[in-house]
Homo-oligomer: A and B are copies of this chain.
Amino acid sequence: MNHLNSMEPGPRPVTPPGPDVSRRSGRAHKAILAATRELVAEVGYQRLTIEGIASAAGVGKQTIYRWWRSKAAILFDAVLDANSQEDGSVELPNTGDVEADLRLVLRESVAAMVDPDNDRLQRAITAEIQTDLAVAGELVRRLLRPQLDATQARIAAGIRDGQVDGSVDPGMVAELLFGPVFHRWLLRTGDLDDAFADGVLDLVLTGIRPR
Protein backbone atom coordinates (compact mmCIF):
# COMPACT_ATOMS: atom_id res chain seq x y z
CA MET A 1 0.00 0.00 0.00
CA ASN A 2 1.37 3.38 -0.94
CA HIS A 3 0.98 6.41 1.21
CA LEU A 4 1.96 10.00 0.71
CA ASN A 5 4.31 10.02 3.66
CA SER A 6 6.00 13.31 3.12
CA MET A 7 2.72 15.22 2.88
CA GLU A 8 0.70 13.34 5.46
CA PRO A 9 1.89 11.15 8.30
CA GLY A 10 -0.21 8.17 7.21
CA PRO A 11 -2.83 6.16 9.06
CA ARG A 12 -3.14 7.33 12.67
CA PRO A 13 -5.67 5.16 14.48
CA VAL A 14 -7.09 7.07 17.44
CA THR A 15 -7.18 3.83 19.47
CA PRO A 16 -4.21 1.50 19.90
CA PRO A 17 -4.23 -0.59 16.73
CA GLY A 18 -5.22 -4.10 17.69
CA PRO A 19 -5.41 -6.64 14.85
CA ASP A 20 -9.11 -5.98 14.18
CA VAL A 21 -8.75 -2.23 14.10
CA SER A 22 -5.82 -2.25 11.69
CA ARG A 23 -7.53 -4.81 9.46
CA ARG A 24 -10.67 -2.66 9.29
CA SER A 25 -8.46 0.35 8.79
CA GLY A 26 -6.62 -1.30 5.89
CA ARG A 27 -9.93 -2.27 4.26
CA ALA A 28 -11.26 1.29 4.55
CA HIS A 29 -8.03 2.69 3.14
CA LYS A 30 -8.18 0.36 0.13
CA ALA A 31 -11.89 1.10 -0.37
CA ILE A 32 -11.25 4.85 -0.42
CA LEU A 33 -8.49 4.52 -3.05
CA ALA A 34 -10.62 2.21 -5.20
CA ALA A 35 -13.63 4.54 -4.92
CA THR A 36 -11.41 7.48 -5.94
CA ARG A 37 -10.23 5.67 -9.06
CA GLU A 38 -13.77 4.69 -10.02
CA LEU A 39 -15.15 8.19 -9.45
CA VAL A 40 -12.39 9.92 -11.42
CA ALA A 41 -13.07 7.56 -14.33
CA GLU A 42 -16.79 8.27 -14.03
CA VAL A 43 -17.09 12.02 -13.37
CA GLY A 44 -13.56 13.35 -13.88
CA TYR A 45 -11.24 14.96 -11.37
CA GLN A 46 -12.85 18.39 -11.38
CA ARG A 47 -16.21 17.02 -10.22
CA LEU A 48 -14.64 14.63 -7.73
CA THR A 49 -15.50 15.54 -4.11
CA ILE A 50 -14.46 14.21 -0.71
CA GLU A 51 -18.17 13.69 0.02
CA GLY A 52 -18.55 11.60 -3.14
CA ILE A 53 -15.53 9.47 -2.29
CA ALA A 54 -16.74 8.92 1.29
CA SER A 55 -20.17 7.91 0.08
CA ALA A 56 -18.84 5.54 -2.60
CA ALA A 57 -16.34 3.96 -0.19
CA GLY A 58 -18.93 3.61 2.57
CA VAL A 59 -16.93 5.60 5.11
CA GLY A 60 -17.40 8.92 6.87
CA LYS A 61 -15.70 12.09 5.63
CA GLN A 62 -13.73 12.21 8.89
CA THR A 63 -12.12 8.85 8.05
CA ILE A 64 -10.81 10.37 4.85
CA TYR A 65 -9.57 13.55 6.53
CA ARG A 66 -7.77 11.41 9.11
CA TRP A 67 -5.48 10.13 6.33
CA TRP A 68 -5.43 12.78 3.60
CA ARG A 69 -5.44 16.53 3.64
CA SER A 70 -6.80 17.13 0.15
CA LYS A 71 -8.45 15.69 -2.96
CA ALA A 72 -5.07 15.86 -4.73
CA ALA A 73 -3.37 13.79 -2.03
CA ILE A 74 -6.01 11.03 -2.30
CA LEU A 75 -5.79 11.06 -6.09
CA PHE A 76 -2.07 10.71 -5.90
CA ASP A 77 -2.22 7.69 -3.59
CA ALA A 78 -4.92 6.19 -5.79
CA VAL A 79 -2.62 6.44 -8.81
CA LEU A 80 0.34 5.00 -6.93
CA ASP A 81 -1.80 2.21 -5.48
CA ALA A 82 -2.94 1.20 -8.97
CA ASN A 83 0.50 1.34 -10.57
CA SER A 84 3.05 0.03 -8.10
CA GLN A 85 3.99 -3.25 -6.58
CA GLU A 86 2.94 -3.82 -2.99
CA ASP A 87 6.45 -2.97 -1.79
CA GLY A 88 6.90 -0.07 -4.21
CA SER A 89 9.65 -1.80 -6.16
CA VAL A 90 9.70 -2.11 -9.93
CA GLU A 91 11.74 -4.66 -11.82
CA LEU A 92 11.94 -5.32 -15.53
CA PRO A 93 12.11 -8.85 -16.93
CA ASN A 94 15.55 -10.08 -17.93
CA THR A 95 15.22 -12.94 -20.39
CA GLY A 96 18.75 -12.30 -21.63
CA ASP A 97 17.38 -10.52 -24.71
CA VAL A 98 17.36 -6.76 -24.08
CA GLU A 99 15.40 -5.98 -27.24
CA ALA A 100 12.61 -8.44 -26.39
CA ASP A 101 12.43 -7.24 -22.78
CA LEU A 102 12.23 -3.55 -23.72
CA ARG A 103 9.62 -4.30 -26.38
CA LEU A 104 7.44 -6.04 -23.81
CA VAL A 105 7.78 -3.20 -21.32
CA LEU A 106 7.00 -0.49 -23.87
CA ARG A 107 3.96 -2.37 -25.16
CA GLU A 108 2.73 -2.90 -21.59
CA SER A 109 3.17 0.81 -20.87
CA VAL A 110 1.16 1.70 -23.95
CA ALA A 111 -1.60 -0.74 -22.99
CA ALA A 112 -1.75 0.75 -19.47
CA MET A 113 -1.88 4.31 -20.78
CA VAL A 114 -4.70 3.75 -23.25
CA ASP A 115 -6.87 1.86 -20.76
CA PRO A 116 -9.84 4.26 -20.45
CA ASP A 117 -10.10 4.27 -16.63
CA ASN A 118 -6.38 4.65 -16.18
CA ASP A 119 -6.30 7.34 -18.86
CA ARG A 120 -8.63 9.63 -16.90
CA LEU A 121 -6.80 8.99 -13.66
CA GLN A 122 -3.41 9.74 -15.20
CA ARG A 123 -4.67 12.87 -16.94
CA ALA A 124 -6.10 14.17 -13.68
CA ILE A 125 -2.79 13.72 -11.91
CA THR A 126 -0.88 15.19 -14.87
CA ALA A 127 -3.04 18.31 -14.73
CA GLU A 128 -2.65 18.49 -10.96
CA ILE A 129 1.15 18.32 -10.99
CA GLN A 130 1.38 21.35 -13.28
CA THR A 131 0.41 23.57 -10.36
CA ASP A 132 1.23 21.49 -7.26
CA LEU A 133 5.00 21.11 -7.09
CA ALA A 134 4.90 18.97 -3.94
CA VAL A 135 2.67 16.40 -5.63
CA ALA A 136 4.81 16.62 -8.79
CA GLY A 137 7.95 15.80 -6.82
CA GLU A 138 6.27 12.88 -5.08
CA LEU A 139 4.97 11.51 -8.36
CA VAL A 140 8.43 11.54 -9.90
CA ARG A 141 10.11 10.15 -6.79
CA ARG A 142 7.65 7.38 -6.04
CA LEU A 143 6.16 6.39 -9.40
CA LEU A 144 8.19 7.58 -12.40
CA ARG A 145 11.69 7.36 -11.01
CA PRO A 146 11.37 3.67 -10.00
CA GLN A 147 10.09 2.84 -13.51
CA LEU A 148 12.85 4.82 -15.20
CA ASP A 149 15.47 3.34 -12.85
CA ALA A 150 14.28 -0.19 -13.56
CA THR A 151 14.51 0.44 -17.31
CA GLN A 152 17.92 2.01 -16.84
CA ALA A 153 19.07 -1.07 -14.89
CA ARG A 154 17.86 -3.39 -17.67
CA ILE A 155 19.77 -1.33 -20.26
CA ALA A 156 22.90 -1.38 -18.08
CA ALA A 157 22.59 -5.18 -17.96
CA GLY A 158 22.32 -5.09 -21.77
CA ILE A 159 25.65 -3.22 -21.88
CA ARG A 160 27.25 -5.89 -19.66
CA ASP A 161 25.87 -8.58 -21.99
CA GLY A 162 27.28 -6.79 -25.06
CA GLN A 163 23.80 -6.12 -26.49
CA VAL A 164 23.92 -2.35 -25.96
CA ASP A 165 26.80 -0.06 -26.84
CA GLY A 166 28.97 0.73 -23.83
CA SER A 167 29.12 4.45 -24.59
CA VAL A 168 25.41 5.17 -24.06
CA ASP A 169 23.91 6.64 -20.88
CA PRO A 170 21.30 4.07 -19.72
CA GLY A 171 19.24 6.76 -17.94
CA MET A 172 18.98 8.83 -21.09
CA VAL A 173 17.95 5.76 -23.07
CA ALA A 174 15.12 5.14 -20.60
CA GLU A 175 13.76 8.63 -21.23
CA LEU A 176 14.28 8.21 -24.97
CA LEU A 177 11.99 5.17 -24.84
CA PHE A 178 9.25 6.49 -22.57
CA GLY A 179 9.37 10.15 -23.66
CA PRO A 180 7.83 9.68 -27.13
CA VAL A 181 5.16 7.32 -25.74
CA PHE A 182 4.26 9.86 -23.06
CA HIS A 183 4.30 12.71 -25.62
CA ARG A 184 1.90 10.86 -27.91
CA TRP A 185 -0.40 9.91 -25.03
CA LEU A 186 -0.50 13.31 -23.38
CA LEU A 187 -0.79 15.43 -26.49
CA ARG A 188 -2.75 12.92 -28.55
CA THR A 189 -0.52 13.49 -31.60
CA GLY A 190 -1.44 10.17 -33.20
CA ASP A 191 -2.36 6.52 -32.62
CA LEU A 192 -0.82 5.05 -29.51
CA ASP A 193 -0.53 1.30 -30.05
CA ASP A 194 1.94 -1.58 -30.33
CA ALA A 195 3.08 -0.34 -33.75
CA PHE A 196 4.12 2.99 -32.25
CA ALA A 197 5.87 1.33 -29.30
CA ASP A 198 7.74 -0.98 -31.69
CA GLY A 199 8.65 1.92 -33.98
CA VAL A 200 10.13 3.89 -31.07
CA LEU A 201 12.16 0.91 -29.91
CA ASP A 202 13.44 0.12 -33.41
CA LEU A 203 14.60 3.70 -33.93
CA VAL A 204 16.28 3.79 -30.52
CA LEU A 205 18.06 0.52 -31.30
CA THR A 206 19.40 1.47 -34.72
CA GLY A 207 19.43 5.28 -34.89
CA ILE A 208 18.71 7.28 -38.00
CA ARG A 209 22.15 7.59 -39.59
CA PRO A 210 22.58 5.93 -43.00
CA ARG A 211 23.56 2.27 -42.55
Interfacial residues, chain A to chain B (CB-CB below 8 A):
44-46, 123-124, 126-131, 136-137, 139-140, 144-145, 148, 155, 162-166, 168-169, 171-173, 175-176, 178-184, 186-190, 196, 199-200, 203-211
Which of B129, B166, B172, B180 lies in contact with A176, CB distance below 8 A? B180
Please state the number of chain copies in the assembly: 2
Q: Which residue of B lies closest to A122 (CB)?
A: B130
Given B129, B144, B189, B200, which contacts A148 in the complex, CB threshold below 8 Å? B189
Q: Do most interface residues of chain A lie in helix, strand or loop, or is the interface mixed?
A: helix
A144–B204 CB distance below 8 A: no
A209 interface neighbour in B165, B175, B183, Cβ under 8 Å: B165
Q: Which B residues are CB-close (under 8 A) to A131? A: 44-46, 123, 127
> What CA separation (Å) do A128 and B130 show in the bound complex?
10
Given contacts A169-B199, A175-B183, 4 further A-B contacts (CB under 8 A): A163-B210, A168-B203, A179-B179, A179-B183
User: Most B CB atoms within 10 A — which of A172, A178, A181?
Assistant: A172
Whether A173 and B127, one on each chain, are in contact in the complex, defined by CB atoms closer than 8 angstroms, is: no
